[in-house]
């Protein structure tokens, strides 16, 4: 039995004993949601990849089996109204049996900028990580990159991952949090960059950082000193230009918007037209 916490934010909430299945019915039926976020998985496990599995394992270790199953049902039924994965937290709105939806949040410790810079440096030196992530997969050895700077990519336990929900259930996670977690797992399946975003670095920043540090790894241009042996001549085949294809020399001009300046009564663009006609002659 995991330690139960009272939520300090809602001190006046009615207290119920741990609800059994029969009494659970007393909460009434969940209110159906239109256009809710429904899990893709219709049966069995949710979360196909090993990395979303690592994330869900933290929840499963808490041993609240029944709630996880009900959360799964919620996730499949589309009870989650909205969900955002941001640096440091997942925030979601879940429709339960009460008219007012609950707010659920799964927090995470973000990594410091220095740590991310070290990770970006490692990514820049070894394109495999970025290639694999961009290709939609978390590379097997990604955790090692974080381990080298003393970090763990996945939370090691619930302590690193504070969860709370505005519902009356004392259990953590409640079925609402569980539903959110399952949907997050599917998001991770689809876009492994979201794990990194949750940990504090969004995709754009990360890739820009990698680019910047890649340039530090050396010049992209072949140094002259390396091509002394073919110094005076072409270093490869010249493109075959063929014969110029006679075509419409005004095609590009036609695609351009007006210049917004009148010349002799028409837009300046039309004043340029004779020049383009001349080019094609």
Partner 1 sequence: MLALHAAWSPGRGLCFWAEDPARVAGGSRSRARGARPHPFAADHERLWAVAAALGATGGEGQAVLHLPSTAGPSGATREPVPSDAATVSAALAPWTVPVLELDAGVLLRSEPLPGEGGEFTVLRALGRLAADLVTRGRVLPAPAPDDDTPLGWRPVLQGPDLVAADAFAAALPPAVRAEALDGRPVADGVGPDPAELVTEALTALVDAEARHRLRSEPVPPALLRAAATGELEPGLARWEVVGAPHAGPARGTFRLTEIAVDDLGHAVDGEPRFWLEFSLQSAQDASLRVTAESIWRDAGSLRRWLDDPSEMLLAELGRAATIYPELTDALRVPRPTGMELDRAGTHHFLLHVAAPLDRAGFGVLLPSWWSEPARLGITANATGGAGPEGVVALRGRLRKEELVDFSWKLAVDGETLSDDEMRALVHAKAPLVFLRGRWVAVDPDRLRAGLEFLDRAPAEGTVGDVLTLHSAYHDDLPPEWAAPLPVEDVTAGGSLGALLSGAADAHLELLDDPPALEATLRPYQRRGVSWLAFLSGLRVGGVLADDMGLGKTLQVLALEAHERADPLPPTLLVAPTSVVGNWQREAARFTPGLRVLVHHGAGRTTGDLTAVLASADLVVTSYGTLTRDVAELSRHAFHRLVLDEAQLVKNNRSRAARAVRTIDAQHRLALTGTPVENRLAELWSIMDAVNPGLLGTVTAFRDRYAVPIERHGRSDVAKRLQGAVRPFLLRRVKTDRSVVDDLPDKIETVERCGLTAEQASLYQVVVDEMTETLSGLETAGREGIERRGKVLAALTKLKQVCDHPALLLHDGSALARRSGKLARVEEIVAEILAAGEKALLFTQFTEFGDALAPHLARRFGVEVLWLHGGTSRRARDTMVEAFQADDGSGPPLFLLSLKAGGTGLTLTAAQHVIHLDRWWNPAVEDQATDRAFRIGQKRTVQVRKLVCGGTVEERIDDLIEGKRALAGQVIGDGGDDPDWLTGLSTDELRRMVALGPGASTGDEDEVDDELDDDDAA
Q: Which one of residues 22, 35, 100, 264 is an interface residue with partner 1 (CB under 8 A)?
A: 264
Contacts of 246 (CB under 8 A, 6+ apart): 280
Total length of the chain: 281
Q: Does 217 bind partner 1 (CB under 8 A)?
A: yes
Kindly identify the residues of this chain, within the stretch 112-171, that bind partner 1 according to CB under 8 A. 124-128, 130-137
Q: What Å distances lie between residue 46 and 49, 76, 91, 152, 157, CA to CA?
A: 9, 9, 19, 23, 20
Q: How far apart are CA 75 and CA 178, in angstroms?
A: 8
Q: Which is nearer to partner 1, 20 or 239 (CB)?
A: 239
Residue 102 or 146 with smaller CB distance to partner 1: 146
Binding mask 182-211 for partner 1 (x = CB under 8 A): -------------------------x---x
CA pair distance 174, 84, nearest whole angstrom: 19
CB of 140 to partner 1, least distance (A): 9
Question: By C-beta, is 116 or 182 nearer to partner 1?
Answer: 116
Side by side, the strands of the sheet bearing 89-94 are 80-86, 89-94, 102-107, 163-165
Pick between residue 13 and residue 269 the one whose CB is nearest to partner 1: 269
Site for partner 1 in 62-121 (CB under 8 A): none
- Count CA atoms within 13 Å of residue 252 on its CB side: 7
Residues binding partner 1 (CB under 8 A): 124-128, 130-137, 207, 211, 214, 217-221, 223-225, 227-239, 241, 244-245, 247-253, 255-261, 263-264, 268-269, 271-272, 274-276, 278-280
């Amino acid at each position: 039995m995991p330690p139960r916490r009272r939520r300090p934010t809602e001190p006046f909430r009615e207290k119920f004993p741990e609800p059994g299945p029969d009494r659970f019915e007393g909460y009434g039926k969940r209110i159906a949601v239109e256009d809710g976020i429904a899990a893709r998985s219709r049966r069995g496990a949710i979360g196909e990849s090993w990395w979303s599995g690592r994330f869900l394992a933290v929840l499963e270790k808490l041993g609240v089996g029944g709630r996880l199953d009900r959360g799964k049902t919620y996730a499949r039924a589309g009870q989650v109204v909205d969900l955002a994965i941001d640096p440091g937290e997942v925030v979601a709105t879940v429709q339960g049996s009460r008219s007012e939806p609950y707010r659920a949040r799964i927090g995470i410790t973000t990594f410091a900028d220095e740590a991310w810079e070290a990770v970006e440096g490692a990514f820049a030196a070894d394109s495999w990580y970025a290639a694999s992530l961009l290709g939609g997969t978390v590379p097997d050895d990604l955790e090692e990159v974080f381990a080298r700077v003393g970090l763990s990519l996945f939370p090691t336990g619930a302590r690193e991952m504070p969860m709370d929900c505005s519902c009356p259930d004392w259990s953590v996670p409640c079925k609402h949090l569980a539903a959110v977690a399952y949907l997050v797992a599917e998001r991770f399946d689809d876009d492994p960059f979201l794990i990194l975003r949750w940990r504090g670095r969004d995709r754009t920043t990360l890739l820009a950082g990698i680019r910047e540090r890649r340039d530090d790894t050396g010049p992209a241009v072949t140094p002259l000193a390396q091509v002394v042996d073919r110094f005076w001549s072409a270093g490869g085949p010249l493109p075959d230009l063929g014969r110029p294809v006679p075509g419409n020399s005004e095609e590009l001009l036609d695609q351009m918007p007006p210049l917004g300046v009148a010349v002799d009564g028409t837009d300046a663009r039309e004043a340029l037209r004779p020049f383009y006609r001349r080019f094609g002659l």
